[in-house]
Structure 1
Amino acid sequence: MPYLFGFHVDHSVVIAGYTESMLTAATRADLPKRDEVPSWVDATTSQSLAMLRNVGATAATIIGYGPADTVTPIVDILTPHFDQAGITVRDALRVTDGRYYSYLCDDPACCPVDGVPFDAVGSVVAVNAIVAGQMALPDRAALVASIAPTTGAARDAVTTATQRAHERRDTLFAAGRRAAVIRAGKKALRAAVARYADDRVLTDDEVAWLSVLLLDYKVRDAAWRTNDANSSDLALWTDITRRVDPALAAPPAVLLAVIAWRTGLGALASVAIDRALDADPNDPLAHLIDHALRAGIPPAALDSQATPTTSAENPPSTDQK
C-alpha cells in the first residue's frame, strides 16, 4: 500500500478493489472523529462503491490503520455495506504498530491473535517497488510538502517576476489582442517542455510568464494536449506548481494532477487538485478531475475531450487572482 499511494499510510482506512485476481483500484480516507462516524461512513461507502463499480471490481479488502478502539468500529460498520452491495470482502484487516490483524480469519496458524508482523520497508515487495521506480514518503504530509509553495527569497523573486509578466502580457494583448497571447503561450509551453526534457529548469521570469499565459483557457488546453505520461513533464509541472505565485497555482496544479493520474500516481494527483482548489475554489477543470479521482474513473475517460475548456463563451479573465 505505501507504494500504491506514494507514502506510508497511518490513521486511515484503505479500500482495495479487485477484478478477479487483479488489484484494479485503491482509495484511502482519514479515520473520522467519533462524532463524524455516521456521515463519514455514508460518504466513504458511496464513494468507494462508485469507484469499485467504475473499474468493474467484484471484491475488496478493507484495511484500517490505527489503534483497535478506533479502527474496529469503522471496519465493523463498513463490511456489511460492501456485502449488501454485492462486493465480496476478501479480508478486513487492522494494521497497528507493524502488525496486521484479520477480522475475518480466525485460523491461528494464519492469523494469530497477537497479529502478524511485517516489514513495510525492507520486504521483497518494497525492494521490487523501489527498483521499479516507485517511492513511499514517510506520510501524506510529506507528499503535500513536496508540491507546497516555495517560501522566502524564492517566493519573493517569483512574485516580482509575476508582476512584470502581467505587464508584459498587457502590452502583448494591446498590440496583438488575444491571438498574440495564445501564440505566446504555446511558444512558452514548447520551450518549457524542451527545457525539462533536457533536465534543466525555467528561470523565475519564465515560470512567471508561463503562469500568466496559462490563465487563458486556450493555452491551458494546449498544455493538456501536450501533457505526456513521462518523467520530464511530471518534473515540469511539479516544479511550476511549487514555484508559481500561489494565486496562479490552479492551472499548473491541475496539469500536474492530470499527468500524475495518467502515470498511476493517484495520491499525488489528489494533493495537486487540493493545491488547485486552494488557489481557485471555482476552477471547473479542477472540480472535474477531483470528481473523476474520487469516483475511480480511469484517466483514459478524459482523453476523448480534446479541449477540456472551462467555458468557450466566457473564458476566464487573465487578470483573475
Structure 2
Amino acid sequence: MTDPVSDTVFRSPNDLLGAVPYLLGYHPVTEIVAVYLGADQQILGVAAEPLRTSAETLTEHLAIRAPADGCTEVALIGYGPPPTRSTLAGIARILDLFLPLHAVLLVAGTRCVCLLDGCTCPASRGVDVDPANTRVATQLTVEGMVALPSRHALQTLVAPDLVAQAETEAALAVLPQDLAVAGLLDDVLAHANQGRRLTTGQLAPLAVALTGRDAQEAAWRAACACMWQRDLWLDVTRRVPHRYITGPATLAAWCAWRRNEHALATVALRHAIRDGPGDKLTRLVTSVVRTRLPAQRLRRPTTH
C-alpha cells in the first residue's frame, strides 16, 4: 500500500523510523519498506512488502508504487533478523537504478544499521533506536494517526466474519419482497451511536438498502470522523455477504480517511473494488483517498 503524509519531513533515521508505523498504519515486523521522498526530504508516501519473495520481485513491487510526481529519492528499510540484510542489499542495488537511495536501514529489534555505501551517519556504525519516542511519531499521534500492532491487525479490521456472513445470508433469505427502507438508516445510526452492535435483523435490510444510490448517498452525507461510525461500517463490512460489500466498505473507507487512517481507508477500498471499479460513490471515495491530502484540508462536497 502507499499512504501519504504531506507535511511530514525526514531529518534523521530516528524520524524516519518513527514515521513508518503511522504511514503504514501498523508496526512492520518482517517486511521491506520503501519511503518515497520529495524536495527538502518531504515524505510523499510509503509502501511495504512482506519478505516472502525474491529481491527482484520485491524491487518491482516497490518501484511501481513510487509517486509519479515529485519523488526524488527513496529510503529503504528492512525489518527482520540479520539474514534480511542480503535481501535488503539486493533490493537496494536494483532500485538504485531507478531512484537515488537516500538511506538503506536494517532494523532488528531496537538496533538500526545503515547499509548505504559511503554513508557517514551515526547509523552506519549501528545505533539503538526508539521509534515511538521521536518528534515525528509525536506529531503524527497528535494529528490523530494510528499505528496498529501488525499488518495482520490492520487486515483483520476488514476481514470477513464467515459465521456472521452466514447469519446475515439466512436473514436475507426471509426478507419480504416489498422491503421498506424508509427511516432505516436513521434507526441504524441512532442504534450504533449508543454503542450497540447491529442485530442481524437490522443488518440484512441495511445490506439491501446500501445497494441503492439514495441510501448510499444518505449514509455518505451522514458520515463523520467519529469512532462509532468507523466501527459501525467496518462491522457491517465484515458481516455482509460478498455481493453486498461495496457500499459498507466504501463508507468504512470514507470514515477511516476522515480520521486520517489512510492505511485502513486503502484496505477497505481494496475490498470495495476487488471485483471491479465499484459504483459512482466508490469511485469518488477512491479518488479522494488518492489525493494524498489530509481530510481536514478538503471542503466536503454536498453531492457525488
Q: TM-score, normalised by structure 1?
A: 0.71
Between the aligned partners of 2:32 and 2:300, the Cα distance in structure 1 is 32
Pick aligned residue for 1:71 from 65, 78, 88: 88
Distance 1:306 1:74 in 2: 45
Distance 1:128 1:49, change over 3 A: closer
Corresponding residue number in structure 1 for 2:67: 49
Contact preservation (8 Å) 2:145, 2:261:
no
SS in 2 for 1:81: coil
Q: Aligned match of 1:139 in 136, 143, 150?
A: 150
Q: Residue 283 of structure 1 aligns with which residue?
A: 278
Unaligned ranges ≥5, structure 2: 1-19
Q: Please give the alpha-carbon distance, in whole angstroms, between the structure 1 residues aligned to 2:298 and 2:141.
A: 29
Distance in 2 separating the partners of 1:45 and 1:291? 22
Deviation at 1:68, TM superposition (A): 0.9
Structure exhibiting the larger radius of gyration computed from Cα positions: 1
Letter in 2 for 1:65: Y
Q: Distance in 1 between matches of 2:152 and 2:90?
A: 26
Structure 2 CA distance for partners of 1:130 and 1:290, relative to 1, 3 Å: closer
Alignment match of 1:28 (pick from 32, 42, 48):
48
Aligned mates of 1:111, 1:149 — CA distance in 2: 42
1:62-211 superposed matches below 5 A: 62-66=76-80, 67-83=84-100, 89-104=101-116, 106=118, 110-113=122-125, 115-120=126-131, 123=133, 134-152=145-163, 154-164=164-174, 167-168=175-176, 170-172=177-179, 184=182, 187-211=183-207
Q: Aligned letter for 2:93?
A: D
- 1:95 aligned partner, one-letter code: V
- 1:117 deviates by 2.6
In 2, Cα distance between the equivalents of 1:64 and 1:289? 32
Unaligned runs of 5+ in 1: 84-88, 173-179, 308-321
Q: Is structure 2 residue 24 aligned with structure 1 residue 5?
A: yes
TM-score (norm 2): 0.74
Amino acid corresponding to residue 306 of structure 1 in structure 2:
T
Q: Which has the higher helix share?
A: 1
Q: Specify which of 207, 214, 228 is matched with residue 232 of structure 1.
A: 228
The count of aligned residue pairs is 277
Structure 1 pair 109/233, CA: closer, same or farther in 2 (3 Å)? closer
- Give the drift of 1:124: 5.4
Per-residue CA deviation, residues 226-284 of structure 1 (Å, 9 max, x unaligned), is 22222222122112112223331221112111222232212212221233245x44524
SS at match of 2:123: coil
Distance 1:270 1:196, change over 3 A: same
Q: Percent identity?
A: 28
**What is the alpha-carbon root mean square deviation over aligned residues?**
3.5
- SS in structure 2 of the partner of residue 26 of structure 1: strand
Distance 1:252 1:99, change over 3 A: same
Contact 2:47 2:65 in 1 (8 A): no
Amino acid at match of 1:20: D
Q: Deviations over 1:183-240 (max 9, x none)?
A: x2xx322333333333233221111111111011232122223222222221221121
What SS is found at the alignment partner of 2:78?
strand
Q: Which residue matches 1:317?
A: none
